[in-house]
Structure 1
């Protein structure tokens, strides 16, 4: 199995008027082809900083990052342009890359039809629910055909019920399209239900406390919502809860 991302001894220090702020310290993890890996940690621990380094928006202070493939980045907010319809929002990345070809448009149309958005293609973002907007945002990310998806708390703006439904949608799309993904969250249940692997980060300066392989599906085609009902789910939850709680009580 090909290794899509390898992070080796990654450290990041920011220099402010008040002095040095060490955010990341000797971070190590890897993402294999077809995996969904979650970076789990308390708010403000540097999870989004890691994603910014992977996309080269930031240069690390030290350490090495190896990426085998093209990256697509899905942010917390959908950032859909209200004056463009759904199809035009999705093709924006292709326009920027000057690759709005007939073949790429056909691929987008296929995605819209497959994931229940075709009939909404001429509507505008304000006419869609929050969950549908997030599906549009994911298809926009997929439109440039990335190999690796970076998902920065993509469900955080949604209400709880919608969050559960959209996480199922996003999981199915990632798996159906054979993508590898790194998800950032501080929600333990979300991390367990979505992931093949969970990397637990400490408070800043963030270090990797532990890495857990999540083995709940056992080759069954279970959605995240279904996975939450598997007997072993609570065991993982208790383990990860103790990991995060230990940071709060120190």
Structure 2
């Protein structure tokens, strides 16, 4: 049985799927086909109720240790093992669980502009037919109510982007020297750089042997802090120069 050497611990809608796909191709690394085992999110079985679609998601949790370790059994000898569950940073209790089981693990964080991240999160659930609220800001205002009702973390549009307190808590268990943080809003100009940094952090290999993001992965985007935003939906307004993939609805002539 084996445990991971590194964890991609955050954050949702910041490129962790593309990073996982890139690192899977690295010759010195092994990541299981299950991209989000979510093992460290609970001390036992996950909840059974929540918001729309949460019950199905909870059934996908790999919460038994023997099942979790079995994910890494196919790892070749000498390969560094890792997994990607982008909710670990947000779930503060998971930091202690990770440290208790794999205290020497390296932690990789992909961080994205919190507003862009929140809007992308809402768009993801809205287009999936799960988000019942058609207005982004209204959905954000419902966050406390949804949290009280037990909706899963993926519905916490605002809280998932409060990186400061989360990273500070993580550093209580893992020093900064064991953490690699990359801002994905820089990917548009330097698409290889975050993947190279993360591969170096996890495998300590030369940049020439690292994998670039797969061509089939979504193109990264950038939204500078000074970008004008719609006062209603908070998305970049048309003509602002942002490459954010979900601009304000006014770009299509619709009323935002």
Q: TM-score, normalised by structure 1?
A: 0.33
Report the structure, 1 or 2, having the larger strand content: 1
